[in-house]
Structures are given as C-alpha cells and as structure tokens.
C-alpha cells in the first residue's frame, strides 16, 4: 500500500497549541481539563485524534498555578490596604462584587439572550456608579483634611450590617488623607498585578506557545513541572490516548471522536453466483480487500506529481478494538501492550460481539488537525448475510476565541502604556472577588483530590474529551466541503472494496450495489413496493375500487395525466 506522508506529531500540532493557549484564556475550560484528566485519576483518557491531551493538561496546571499565585498576591494587597486605610478600602467591595456578578450573569457569549443581558447591564452600571462614588469619597477625604468617621462614608453605599461591623473596628480617629492615599496606592498596585498577569500570558504566547517554538517539547516549562501525580498521569495519558485499544464507557463509546455524521448500516443477502466458485468469505478477507483501495487515496494524480497538498495524502488507516472498561481491576492493568492487543484484534474481528467490537479506523486530519474526520468501518457475516456498518465522526474546529489567542496577545504586547493602564484599571475593581473565587476554587480542587478517593477508585471510561470541550459548534463552508469530500471518498472506496470481496468470493453483487447507492447517498431503499408511490412535488394519489385485472391505485401527474403503478 502507498505510505502516508509524514504528519506533525500530535504533541506539536496546531490543535494542541490552540488548546494549550485556551487553558490560559478560559478559566472554565481549564478547570474542566484539570477535573477530567487530573482530579479523576480513575478515568482513562479519551482517544486524542491529532493532539496531545497530556500537554494540554500540563499547560492547564501551569495556568492554574500562575493564576493562584497572582490571586494570592492580589488578595494580600487588598488585605494590607484595608488595614492600613482604616477600612476605607471597603468602599470598593460592593462595586467589585456587582461588576463581578455582571460579568458572570452576562456569560461568555458574544450576543447573550435578553434575560442575561438586561440584569448584567443593570448590575454593571450600578457598580460603576458606586465605584464613581467611592472615588469621589477618596477625593473628599483628601480635600477636607480627614477627621471623618469611616462608617459614615461606608453607610452611604453598603448595607447597615457591614457598616456596623466596620464601626466596631473603627479606632475613633476618623479617616485621614493618609488613608485615602493608601487606598489609591493599593488600587494602583493591584492594577499593576492585573497588568503583569496579562503580560505573562502574552509572553507565553510569544514564547513556548509560539508556532515556531511549540514543537520543542523539551524546552516547554509546563512539561518540566515537578510533582509525582502529574508525572504519573502524564505517562498514563500518553499510553492511552493514541493506543489502538480503546477502553470506553458504555454511555459514550465514541468519546473523543467528535460529532456523529450520517451513520448508516447495510444488510445484504449473500447470493452465490452460479457462474463462479464460492470461496470462504470472512470479515478479515473483506477488510483486507478494503484497505488497499483506501490507501490508494494517498496517491496524487500523475500530472500533479509532488505538488498535491490534499490532506488525503496523509490519510491514516489502522484497526482498533473497543473494550468496555467494566471489570478492569486497576487502570494501569489495561492491556495496552502489543501482544495483548493482537490477541484482542484476532478474536474480535470475527466474533461480532456486543461489547468488544473491532473497527477499521480511517482518519483524515484537515486544517492543521482542527477538523478531524474519522470513519469507523465494521463488517460481519453470519447466516448468509453481510452486515456493513459505517460510523463517521467529525471533530469540529477549535473555538474562535482560542484561535484568536495569538491576535489577543500580539495586540496587548504592542499596545501603548496608556492603553495597558486603562485595560488594567478597568479590571481592578472586580479583582478582589475574582481573587477570592479563584482561591476558593483551588482549595475545592485540592480538597476534592484529598477526600474523593479517586486514586483507589475502580477504573472508569472517559466522561468528556478535552478536544471536544475546546471545539466550536460551527465550521466554515470550506471546512464542510472538505469533510463531505473526505467522507464520500472513504465511503466509496469501502463500498468498492466490499463489492470486490463479494465478487472474488463468488457471490452476486447487484443487490449490494443497488443498496449501497441508496443508503450511502442518504436515500431510502424500498425493496418491495406494493401499491402506488410518487416521487416529486404536487402529486395526487387516489385509491379506487377497480375491476379484477386492473390496478387499484391511480397516480395523477401535475399536468392532469394519470398512470397506474403496482
């Protein structure tokens, strides 16, 4: 068979790079990756088609460590500022809470629904007004020279309960200009931390996540992270994610392959050809007839020679066995070694089992592994019947905000100092609540790891795929055209291979050819039609009582003519 062209290693693919960048951009995605691959140690990693889940996990953990460090620093500045300012900095607590809630209610969607947009808009502007009042209060303290009680200022913008608590800690000396200057200095330092955190993300995009440097995995600081749990899980993930043996969860057997795309099943009677000698026809014989035809898709046209860059030249063909995870005593006892896989493959290809299933897997990684088309083919012969199952799946493109990570980082790095300052100051008021939320979530993750008992739990299949979590729900017209072209090419070659195997084994192929045209084309095959049927629009069918020897149904054409059908 013609060999496939070399492909980019999964750990250095563009899909992996964008997913790693997304772990810095989206906190919800980062937490989902960590929860699936790090917290739930009992779950086997989903098949990683065209990317490296272990490297995505490495950057997700690194992004969380950085985020926790910055959150702790920001919270420390707020605490110091509150104490040194005689609690005057509490003026910014309520605006911080309202602005944080406004962002959470609105959500990440570019055009959220009205029931989200209106309350978010109301909270945002109310928080901005309170923020303006707090700034005016600081200016007033400086202008009046101090001597005013802090509780008097806070009672204007905060509930009575907060004011009473703050009054209990009031020293009685009142607020002085020094306290107002401490508030301003604290806010500026917090803004500097917010800007530095964003700058660190921008430097990561220009450094280890840059397209020219991402291929060097040895130089990636996320890969060098220490920790026994991470190193152990990284080895397991890299053993499981690209193995031909797929340990699956019963609820989601094709987890990691993407969205199902026009799956179909065909059953045809094996009718001997009287003009040919019948030979033994097994599932292995049929698959071996299909594989060379699929491999020929890699060959470019003779007149084009080496100038063809079609992704079919990198088409990958292999055999995989789906094995249920139920009954496995420990995760590291899964039979991923080559000898065990060969045993499973030899037994499953002919058995036609319900839980252990053998598939011929054909994969095309388009658009730098952002659009992955995978076709699972399964054949089975029993009782004089041939069953052919085609299960195409498509991994949709990476999320648009992840694809724009380079653009966002470049824009921030090349922005003016004034622009960076405005960006950081606009996010400073909500930084307190964000820091508390981040630290609380980090503590919850640690507590869940310590008390969840996942390390000693019974093995389980993958619940989600980090690649599917990072996929967009839409694809471009070009990408849809490529997917359809890949699927049509693969399905036609599979059909031709099966038909060739039937013919060589001495069986008739007319019925199979007729059914494959109807089923693979999305149509409905009517094997035995009794009565009348119509094709097209604006037709009328009537059922009339007729004399013996005539048809009982009448089909009236749009022009008024009628014809009998039976």
pLDDT in tens, 417-427: 988 988 898 88
Which pLDDT score, from 0 to 100, does residue 549 have? Answer: 46
Tell me which of 88 and 66 has the higher pLDDT.
66
- Which of 294, 337, 291, 286 is closest to 313 using CA atoms? 294
Instruction: Provide the 3-class DSSP secondary structure of residue 43.
Output: strand
- Which of 9, 551, 464 is closest to 257 using CA atoms? 464
Tell me which of 471 and 102 has the higher pLDDT.
471
Is the pLDDT confidence value at 495 over 80? yes
Which pLDDT score, from 0 to 100, does residue 236 have? Answer: 94
Tell me the mean pLDDT in the region 131-158.
63
Which pLDDT score, from 0 to 100, does residue 514 have? Answer: 83
Helical ranges in 89-246 per DSSP H:
93-106, 114-144, 150-154, 160-169, 177-206, 228-240
**Per-residue confidence at 129, pLDDT binned at 50, 70, 90?**
confident
Burial of 500 (0-12, 13-18, 19+ CB in 10 A): middle
Mean pLDDT of the chain: 83
pLDDT tens figures, 509-519:
888 888 877 66
- For the ranges 33-47, 145-159, 343-357, the lowest mean pLDDT is seen at 145-159
Is the pLDDT confidence value at 372 over 60? yes
Which pLDDT score, from 0 to 100, does residue 335 have? Answer: 92
**Per-residue confidence at 556, pLDDT binned at 50, 70, 90?**
very low
Which pLDDT score, from 0 to 100, does residue 183 have? Answer: 85
For the chain, percent of residues with pLDDT exceeding 70:
84
Question: For residues 491 and 477, what is the distance between their CA atoms, to the nearest angstrom?
Answer: 21
Is the pLDDT confidence value at 188 over 60? yes
Which pLDDT score, from 0 to 100, does residue 158 have? Answer: 53
- Which of 195, 262, 224 is closest to 55 using CA atoms? 224
Question: For residues 221 and 67, what is the distance between their CA atoms, to the nearest angstrom?
Answer: 16
- Which of 6, 15, 25 is closest to 53 using CA atoms? 15
What percentage of the chain's residues is helix, strand, coil (to nearest 5)?
55, 15, 35
Which pLDDT score, from 0 to 100, does residue 558 have? Answer: 42
Is the pLDDT confidence value at 449 over 60? yes
Tell me which of 137 and 396 has the higher pLDDT.
396
- Domain boundaries, given as residue ranges, for the chain: 7-83+204-242+400-415+433-471, 259-395+476-520, 530-566
DSSP code at position 267: E
Tell me the mean pLDDT in the region 426-435.
86
Name the pTM for this structure.
0.83
Which pLDDT score, from 0 to 100, does residue 264 have? Answer: 86
Tell me the mean pLDDT in the region 280-291.
92
- For the ranges 79-93, 133-147, 365-379, 544-558, the lowest mean pLDDT is seen at 544-558
- For the ranges 54-63, 147-156, 528-537, the lowest mean pLDDT is seen at 528-537
**Per-residue confidence at 531, pLDDT binned at 50, 70, 90?**
very low
Which pLDDT score, from 0 to 100, does residue 564 have? Answer: 43
Contact between 423 and 195 under an 8 Å Cβ cutoff? The reply is: yes
- Which of 187, 171, 83 is closest to 134 using CA atoms? 187
Tell me the mean pLDDT in the region 91-103.
79
Which pLDDT score, from 0 to 100, does residue 540 have? Answer: 56
Contact between 243 and 256 under an 8 Å Cβ cutoff? The reply is: no
Tell me which of 555 and 84 has the higher pLDDT.
84
Which pLDDT score, from 0 to 100, does residue 453 have? Answer: 86
**Per-residue confidence at 443, pLDDT binned at 50, 70, 90?**
very high
- For the ranges 104-108, 325-329, 410-414, the lowest mean pLDDT is seen at 104-108
- For the ranges 92-101, 235-244, 399-408, 473-482, the lowest mean pLDDT is seen at 92-101
Backbone angles phi, psi at 188, to 5 degrees: -65, -40
Which pLDDT score, from 0 to 100, does residue 156 have? Answer: 53
- Give whichever of 12-16, 87-91, 296-300 has the largest mean pLDDT: 12-16
The count of residues in the chain is 566
Beta-bridged to residue 372, according to DSSP, are 365, 395
**Per-residue confidence at 562, pLDDT binned at 50, 70, 90?**
very low
Instruction: Provide the 3-class DSSP secondary structure of residue 477.
Output: helix
Contact between 263 and 391 under an 8 Å Cβ cutoff? The reply is: yes
CB atoms within 10 A of CB 538: 9
Phi and psi based region of residue 81 (left: phi greater than 0; alpha: psi -120 to 50; beta: remaining)? alpha
Which pLDDT score, from 0 to 100, does residue 520 have? Answer: 55
Is the pLDDT confidence value at 248 over 60? yes
Which pLDDT score, from 0 to 100, does residue 533 have? Answer: 45
């Amino acid at each position: 068979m013609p060999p496939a062209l070399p492909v980019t290693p999964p750990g250095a693919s563009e899909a992996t790079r964008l997913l790693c960048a997304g772990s810095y951009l989206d906190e919800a995605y980062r937490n989902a990756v960590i929860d699936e691959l790090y917290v739930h140690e009992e779950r086997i990693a989903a098949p990683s088609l065209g990317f490296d889940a272990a490297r995505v996990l490495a950057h997700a953990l690194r992004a969380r460590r950085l985020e926790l460090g910055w959150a702790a620093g920001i919270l420390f500045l707020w605490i110091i500022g509150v104490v040194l300012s005689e609690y005057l900095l509490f003026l910014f607590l309520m605006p911080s809470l309202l602005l944080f809630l406004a962002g959470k209610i609105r959500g990440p969607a570019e055009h959220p629904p009205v029931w989200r947009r209106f309350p978010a808009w109301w909270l945002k502007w109310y928080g901005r007004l309170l923020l303006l009042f707090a700034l005016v209060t600081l200016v007033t303290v400086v202008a009046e020279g101090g001597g005013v009680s802090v509780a008097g200022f806070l009672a204007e913008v905060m509930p009575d309960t907060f004011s009473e608590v703050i009054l209990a800690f009031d020293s009685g000396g009142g607020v002085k200009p020094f306290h107002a200057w401490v508030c301003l200095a604290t806010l500026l330092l917090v803004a500097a931390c917010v800007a530095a955190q964003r700058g660190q993300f921008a430097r990561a995009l220009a450094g280890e996540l840059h397209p020219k440097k991402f291929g060097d995995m040895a130089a990636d600081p996320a890969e060098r992270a220490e920790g026994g749990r991470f190193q152990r899980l990284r080895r397991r993930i890299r053993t499981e994610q690209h193995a031909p043996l797929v340990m699956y969860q019963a609820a989601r057997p094709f987890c990691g392959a993407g969205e199902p795309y026009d799956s179909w099943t065909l059953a045809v009677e094996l009718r001997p050809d009287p003009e040919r000698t019948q030979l033994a026809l097994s599932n292995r014989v049929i698959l071996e007839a299909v594989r060379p035809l699929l491999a020929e898709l890699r060959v470019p046209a003779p007149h084009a020679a080496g100038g063809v860059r079609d992704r079919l030249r990198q088409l990958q063909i292999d055999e995989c066995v789906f094995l249920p995870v139920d009954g496995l005593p420990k995760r590291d006892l899964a039979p991923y070694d080559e000898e065990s896989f060969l045993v499973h493959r030899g037994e499953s290809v002919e058995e036609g089992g319900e839980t252990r299933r053998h598939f011929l897997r054909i994969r095309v990684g388009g658009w730098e592994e952002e659009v992955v088309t995978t076709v699972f083919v399964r054949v089975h012969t029993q009782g004089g019947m041939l069953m052919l199952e085609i299960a195409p799946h498509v991994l949709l493109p990476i999320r648009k905000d992840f694809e724009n990570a380079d653009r966002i980082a470049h824009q921030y790095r090349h922005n003016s100092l004034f622009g960076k300052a405005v960006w950081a100051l606009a996010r400073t008021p909500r930084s307190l609540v964000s820091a508390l939320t981040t630290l609380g979530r980090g503590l919850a993750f640690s507590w869940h790891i310590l008390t969840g008992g996942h390390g000693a739990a019974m093995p389980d299949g993958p619940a989600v795929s980090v690649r599917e979590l990072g996929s967009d729900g839409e694809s471009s017209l070009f990408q849809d055209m490529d997917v359809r072209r890949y699927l049509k090419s693969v399905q036609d070659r599979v059909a031709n291979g099966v038909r060739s195997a039937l013919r060589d084994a001495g069986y008739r192929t007319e019925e199979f050819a007729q059914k494959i045209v109807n089923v693979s084309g999305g149509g409905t095959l009517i094997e035995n039609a009794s009565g009348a049927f119509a094709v097209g629009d604006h037709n009328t069918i009537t059922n009339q009582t007729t004399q013996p020897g005539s048809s009982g149904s009448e089909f009236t054409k749009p022009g008024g003519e009628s014809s009998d059908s039976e």
